[in-house]
Chain A
Amino acid sequence: MTFFNDVKKILQQNIREYGMYIALFVIMIIFTITTEGTFISSRNIVNLVNQTGYIAILAIGMTLVIIIRHIDLSVGFLAGFLGAIAAIAMADPKVVQAGMNLPVYIVIPLTLVLGIVAGLLTAFLVAQMKIPSFVASLAGWLIYRGAILVVTESTGTIIINDDAFNAIGNGFVPDIPGIGILPGIHKLTLILGIIAIVAMALSEFNDRRKKLTYNFEVLPTEIFILKVVFTSAIIGGITWVLSGYQGLSWTAVIVLVVTIIYNFIMSQTVLGRHIYAIGGNPDAAELSGISVKKLIYVVFGSMGMLSALSGILFASRLQSATTTAGTLFELDAIAAAYVGGVSAAGGVGKVVGSIIGALVMTSLTSGMNLMGIGISYQYMVRGAVLAAAVIFDVATRNTGK
């Protein structure tokens, strides 16, 4: 059968890319069995997505940083620090007493800008002063750690009681009111899911048609259809599970939007190509007219902004800013990126992969929590999975395209 041979060939050639999805799938199945279905329940999945949110956001930025052969260790405490700044600006008792507290729609952009500034500062050390990013960002790690302690010193944990802000990490997109059918199902989520499937299918067909008019190679028809059906099934499944609880959380919306934007930039735009080129061979990129320095600023600036966003998500989820916020976030984000197929040698990696990587890591935590496995073993399992993922990545690097 040519069909099965084709499927086999395509799977073999793209095993690197599909490997992660398969891993995530397997992990989910295992936990579903061991927890007798609790793991796959709508409620748990929604929770899982919300838990992944702030790490996923960091992992997206970290993907770009690692692609250009750098690293940023400061992002965890930077996120924690900026979360605290946001909390103080909105809700610190003294600030409120003085009537100086700012509304949420000013605080959020302000925090993001502060994040960009912090990122540009690291970039300055790396690009201008030629300090290795490991060292430059380690300095940042220490500084922001201290900074969190300074700003939370007098008050300790700062409670945030702004409803709009807290909804970011805990709230859900409201449903369309007044539809009687399908009680208990979140209709808006369902509709959005259907729109997503249709949009995906249309864009795939469109792409294929364009390729055909150029006479370029495309997937065989059966396999193409199989791919579209399969992707639709996945989106449909996720939609169904989410709409069974409270629908899309705001966190999920934010992660989705950021992922789509970054994925688009990295795969379709000149900027993305330049970033990959720098990671692949900085000298060749420079000679090709790409300013490596400038892109270091862009990538670290974006990392700073995403750190701020991550800090906002985390503070909002806890409805407070704590003295330990951000601890180990950077390592979780780096691990997610590596699990997601980013290469330490630079030049290789996908934003979507890192999101999957982040999901793999939180699924492990969530699943093991449900099974009642102790935290000590959880660390070991996650370490083993990280190592296995990277081994798989290295082993498959030379197969396929």
Chain B
Amino acid sequence: MNAPILEMKNITKEFPGVKALSDVSFTVETGEIHCLVGENGAGKSTLMKVLSGVYPHGDYTGDILLNGEIQGFRHINDSEKAGIAIIYQELALIPEMTVFENIFLGHEISNSLVVNWNETIKQAGEMLKKVKLDINPATKVKDLGIGTQQLVEIAKALSKDVKLLILDEPTSSLNEQDSENLLQLLRDLKEHGVTSIMISHKLKEVIAIADSVTVLRDGQTICSLHARDGEITENVLIKHMVGREINNIYPPKKHIPTQEVILEVKNWNARNPSLGRDILKDVNFKLNKGEIIGLAGLIGSGRTELALSIFGNPGNFQISGDFYLNGKKQKFNHPKEAITAGISYVSEDRKGNGLILIQDVKQNISLANLKELAEHWVVNSNAEIKVANKYKTELNIKTPSVEQKVSNLSGGNQQKVCLGKWLFVKPNILILDEPTRGIDVGAKFEIYTIMTELVRQGMSIIMISSELPEVLGMSDRIYIVASGKIAGELKAQEATQEKIMKLATN
């Protein structure tokens, strides 16, 4: 057993109305990869924010020891100086800047006043080599895929001479290949003496990479497990996380899809005028009443664009082709019309275009269907609270009250608010874009159960997901999207991960 690089002792952190951490202790050995798991709202992100000085010393009780010395970080700069770098779930790169500018942002290489760009570019190149990224440092970040951006973030951390790297759900929006690259990189960094703490809801990944795992539940440490003792298995993790055993990851299929076509898209093309590029090419697919179809494919294959082009086309793409709803040809010019026609779209980007973070839970849930709560345009705020509480209970949203600001909720609970918002619209067709991103195992099962219940009641669901097991476990039929085209269609019974990946990458 190596000496601990980090010890957090009896950390307690409270927010108004919420005890996010109570008496949490947590030890990380030098040179290991330590995973932090737990249900949504268990306090994982909060613990890491305490560590990195986002919540300054004095805002919490307890001690942080780095290499045996007590630390009192008052600001994130302090922890950076001590060799701690944190990579948040939401990327913090500046899209309009180049890769090298981003890597050295905040600690520019300069002789007194003037930035030495040549040296910057050279060193940025070295950092990129360390993260095995073969790109031109002068590329703008906005032109990179999300997986590549994640690696640039790590390169940025490395440029600060990091000893302890913290990653909060780094793979939640990466595809399998990018995730694998990232995990491999963490292993390489470990060889070079960098200790990592990783938060993740993807237990397979945790098992593959962790030397140790600490489980949090309701703001308390439940246990720490070590790979060398052979303690880390999926069942054990789930049991500690949820507090009970979960035997099935997917609920049994109780529904039988009908053959009644509710939505059909024919010869559908879309062009993004601002990028000057065709994003959808000759797409054909249909959805039956009471059916769940999965849209599988790589990130960036055009699945979200396909969903949006149906959902009133808010991106103002140039569209051609036919769209039928209940056999009737339709054309929506605004999401409003799609919503009125009974379609809901739960966005993949809850912070970007899913939620209004500065508003509270109830206002977010009611937003897309305020008219139902209003009489003569006057909103009945009591009815609103009632509706919000209903979804809070049904979806098990962890929040002290529905008047809590959504920005104060944990990531997974924000996702549930999104879902509640769109269920309140009472749609016939529900489009779910990465519905379980950042959601814990227990809550995933809850969401899957809700989905099966909804289709049993006659709703139809289009599920976009980059998690193949989920696509396989939940869909009745699967369409594989690749480069803006439908590359294939598979029935649930005949589909396998290999078949899907083959179609998706061709």
Q: Do chains A and B stick together as partners?
A: yes
Q: Chain A CB within 10 Å — which of B345, B358, B368 has the most? A: B358
Q: Which residues of chain B come closer than 8 Å to A348, judged between CB atoms?
A: 358
The answer to whether the Cβ of B382 comes within 8 Å of any Cβ in the partner chain is: yes
Write out, one digit per residue, whether chain A residues 281-324 have a CB within 8 A of any chain B CB (1) or not (0). Answer: 10111111111000000000000000000000000000000000
The answer to whether the Cβ of A357 comes within 8 Å of any Cβ in the partner chain is: no
Which of chain B's residues 357-384 have a Cβ closer than 8 Å to chain A? 357-360, 363, 366-368, 370-371, 374, 377-379, 381-382
B356 touches A214 (CB 8 A): no
A269 touches B379 (CB 8 A): yes
How many residues of chain A have a CB within 8 Å of chain B? 29
Output the nearest chain A residue to B308 by Cβ-Cβ distance: A287
Q: Which residues of chain B come closer than 8 Å to A214, judged between CB atoms?
A: 382, 385-386
A287 touches B335 (CB 8 A): yes
A288 touches B374 (CB 8 A): no
How many residues of chain B have a CB within 8 Å of chain A? 39
Chosen A-B contacts, 29 in total, with CB atoms closer than 8 Å, are A210-B382, A211-B382, A214-B382, A216-B385, A217-B401, A268-B381, A269-B377, A269-B379, A270-B377, A270-B379, A273-B367, A273-B370, A273-B379, A274-B370, A276-B359, A277-B356, A277-B367, A283-B352, A284-B354, A284-B355, A286-B335, A287-B311, A287-B345, A287-B353, A288-B367, A290-B367, A291-B336, A347-B359, A401-B405
- Name the contact of A289 in the complex, choosing from B336, B354, B358, B377 (C-beta under 8 A): B336
Write the nearest CB–CB distance from B400 to chain A, whole angstroms. 11
A401 touches B403 (CB 8 A): yes
How far, in whole Å, are A401 and B385 apart by their CA atoms in the complex?
A: 16
The answer to whether the Cβ of B79 comes within 8 Å of any Cβ in the partner chain is: no
Write the nearest CB–CB distance from A281 to chain B, whole angstroms. 5
How far, in whole Å, are A210 and B335 apart by their CA atoms in the complex?
A: 35
Write the nearest CB–CB distance from A400 to chain B, whole angstroms. 8
Q: Which residues of chain A come closer than 8 Å to B287, judged between CB atoms?
A: none
Q: Which residues of chain B come closer than 8 Å to A270, judged between CB atoms?
A: 370-371, 374, 377-379
Output the nearest chain A residue to B314 by Cβ-Cβ distance: A286
Q: Which residues of chain A come closer than 8 Å to B240, judged between CB atoms?
A: none
Output the nearest chain A residue to B422 by Cβ-Cβ distance: A288
Q: Which residues of chain A come closer than 8 Å to B368, judged between CB atoms?
A: 288-289
Output the nearest chain A residue to B17 by Cβ-Cβ distance: A401
Q: Which residues of chain A come closer than 8 Å to B339, judged between CB atoms?
A: 288-289
Which of chain A's residues 202-261 have a Cβ closer than 8 Å to chain B? 210-211, 214, 216-217
Q: Which residues of chain B come closer than 8 Å to A286, judged between CB atoms?
A: 314, 335, 353
Q: Which residues of chain B come closer than 8 Å to A347, judged between CB atoms?
A: 356, 358-359
The 8 closest A-B pairs by CB, nearest first: A280-B356, A283-B353, A289-B336, A288-B368, A289-B339, A281-B356, A270-B370, A288-B367
Write the nearest CB–CB distance from B56 to chain A, whole angstroms. 13
Q: Which residues of chain A come closer than 8 Å to B352, judged between CB atoms?
A: 283-284
How far, in whole Å, are A280 and B352 apart by their CA atoms in the complex?
A: 11
A289 touches B335 (CB 8 A): yes
B347 touches A280 (CB 8 A): no
How far, in whole Å, are A19 and B382 apart by their CA atoms in the complex?
A: 27
Write the nearest CB–CB distance from B98 to chain A, whole angstroms. 25
Answer whether A280 and B358 are a contact pair too, CB < 8 Å, given A268-B378, A287-B353.
Answer: yes
Q: Which residues of chain B come closer than 8 Å to A290, judged between CB atoms?
A: 336, 367
How far, in whole Å, are A74 and B312 apart by their CA atoms in the complex?
A: 34
Q: Chain A CB within 10 Å — which of B312, B382, B403, B405 has the most? A: B382
How far, in whole Å, are A223 and B438 apart by their CA atoms in the complex?
A: 42
The answer to whether the Cβ of B334 comes within 8 Å of any Cβ in the partner chain is: yes
Output the nearest chain A residue to B403 by Cβ-Cβ distance: A401
Q: Which residues of chain B come closer than 8 Å to A280, judged between CB atoms?
A: 356-359
The answer to whether the Cβ of A191 comes within 8 Å of any Cβ in the partner chain is: no
How far, in whole Å, are A211 and B383 apart by their CA atoms in the complex?
A: 10
Q: Which residues of chain B come closer than 8 Å to A400, judged between CB atoms?
A: 16
B377 touches A271 (CB 8 A): yes
Q: Which residues of chain B come closer than 8 Å to A289, judged between CB atoms?
A: 312, 334-336, 338-340, 368
Q: Which residues of chain B come closer than 8 Å to A276, judged between CB atoms?
A: 359, 363
A277 touches B359 (CB 8 A): yes
How far, in whole Å, are A286 and B314 apart by their CA atoms in the complex?
A: 7
How far, in whole Å, are A243 and B367 apart by their CA atoms in the complex?
A: 44
Output the nearest chain A residue to B405 by Cβ-Cβ distance: A401
Q: Which residues of chain A come closer than 8 Å to B335, judged between CB atoms?
A: 286-289
Write the nearest CB–CB distance from B282 to chain A, whole angstroms. 26
Which of chain B's residues 283-315 have a Cβ closer than 8 Å to chain A? 311-312, 314
Q: Which residues of chain A come closer than 8 Å to B403, judged between CB atoms?
A: 401
How far, in whole Å, are A387 and B352 apart by their CA atoms in the complex?
A: 31
Q: Which residues of chain B come closer than 8 Å to A211, judged between CB atoms?
A: 382
Q: Which residues of chain B come closer than 8 Å to A274, judged between CB atoms?
A: 370
A284 touches B336 (CB 8 A): no
Output the nearest chain A residue to B347 by Cβ-Cβ distance: A287
Write the nearest CB–CB distance from B468 to chain A, whole angstroms. 27
Q: Which residues of chain B come closer than 8 Å to A271, judged between CB atoms?
A: 377
How far, in whole Å, are A269 and B373 apart by their CA atoms in the complex?
A: 10
How far, in whole Å, are A210 and B380 apart by their CA atoms in the complex?
A: 11
- Name the contact of A281 in the complex, choosing from B334, B357, B401, B405 (C-beta under 8 A): B357
How far, in whole Å, are A210 and B357 apart by their CA atoms in the complex?
A: 28
Write the nearest CB–CB distance from A179 to chain B, whole angstroms. 38
Write out, one digit per residue, whether chain B residues 386-429 have a CB within 8 A of any chain A CB (1) or not (0). Answer: 10000000000000010101000000000000000100000000
Q: Which residues of chain A come closer than 8 Å to B312, judged between CB atoms?
A: 289
How far, in whole Å, are A348 and B356 apart by their CA atoms in the complex?
A: 12
How far, in whole Å, are A400 and B360 apart by their CA atoms in the complex?
A: 13
Q: Which residues of chain B come closer than 8 Å to A281, judged between CB atoms?
A: 353, 355-357
Q: Which residues of chain A come closer than 8 Å to B359, judged between CB atoms?
A: 276-277, 280, 347
Answer whether A216 and B353 are a contact pair too, CB < 8 Å, given A288-B368, A289-B335.
Answer: no
How far, in whole Å, are A214 and B402 apart by their CA atoms in the complex?
A: 14
Write the nearest CB–CB distance from B322 to chain A, whole angstroms. 23
Q: Which residues of chain B come closer than 8 Å to A284, judged between CB atoms?
A: 347, 352-356, 367
A268 touches B385 (CB 8 A): no
Q: Which residues of chain A come closer than 8 Å to B421, judged between CB atoms?
A: 288
Q: Which residues of chain A come closer than 8 Å to B355, judged between CB atoms?
A: 281, 284
Q: Which residues of chain B come closer than 8 Å to A269, judged between CB atoms?
A: 374, 377-379
Output the nearest chain A residue to B352 by Cβ-Cβ distance: A283
Output the nearest chain B residue to A9 by Cβ-Cβ distance: B16
Write the nearest CB–CB distance from B361 to chain A, whole angstroms. 12
How far, in whole Å, are A347 and B311 apart by their CA atoms in the complex?
A: 25
Which of chain A's residues 110-131 have a Cβ closer than 8 Å to chain B? none
Output the nearest chain A residue to B337 by Cβ-Cβ distance: A289
Write the nearest CB–CB distance from A141 to chain B, whole angstroms. 29
Q: Which residues of chain B come closer than 8 Å to A288, judged between CB atoms?
A: 335, 339, 367-368, 421
How far, in whole Å, are A274 and B370 apart by their CA atoms in the complex?
A: 9
Write the nearest CB–CB distance from A168 to chain B, whole angstroms. 30
Q: Which residues of chain A come closer than 8 Å to B347, judged between CB atoms?
A: 284, 287
Write out, one digit per residue, whether chain A residues 80-110 have a CB within 8 A of any chain B CB (1) or not (0). Answer: 0000000000000000000000000000000
